[in-house]
Amino acid sequence: MEQYKKEFIEFMIDCNVLKFGDFVTKSGRKTPFFVNTGFYRTGSQLKRLGEYYAQAIHDHFGFDFDVLFGPAYKGIPLSVAATIAISEKYDKDIRYCSNRKEVKDHGDKGILLGSPIQDGDKVIIIEDVTTAGTSIQETLPIIKAQGDVEVGGLVVSVDRMERGQGEKSALTEISEKYGMKTTAIVTMAEVVEHLYNKPYKGKVIIDDELKKAIDAYYDQYGVK
* Residues placed in the known binding site for orotate: 131, 160
Numbered residues of the known binding site: 26, 73-74, 100-101, 104, 106, 127-135, 160
Considering the candidates 106, 109, 201, 224, report the single residue annotated as catalytic: 106
Residue of 31, 102, 38 whose CA lies nearest to 74: 38
> Is the bond into 52 cis (omega within 30 degrees of 0)?
no
Numbered residues of the known binding site for 5-phospho-alpha-D-ribose 1-diphosphate: 26, 73-74, 100-101, 104, 106, 127-135
What does the alpha-carbon distance between residue 139 and residue 142 come to, in Å, rounded to a whole number?
Answer: 5
What does the alpha-carbon distance between residue 24 and residue 22 come to, in Å, rounded to a whole number?
Answer: 7
Considering the candidates 89, 104, 198, 212, report the single residue annotated as catalytic: 104
Instruction: State yes or no: is 104 an active-site residue.
Output: yes
Question: Angle at Cα 162 formed by Cα 158 and Cα 167, nearest 5°?
Answer: 145
How many residues comprise the chain? Answer: 224
Annotated catalytic residues are 104, 106
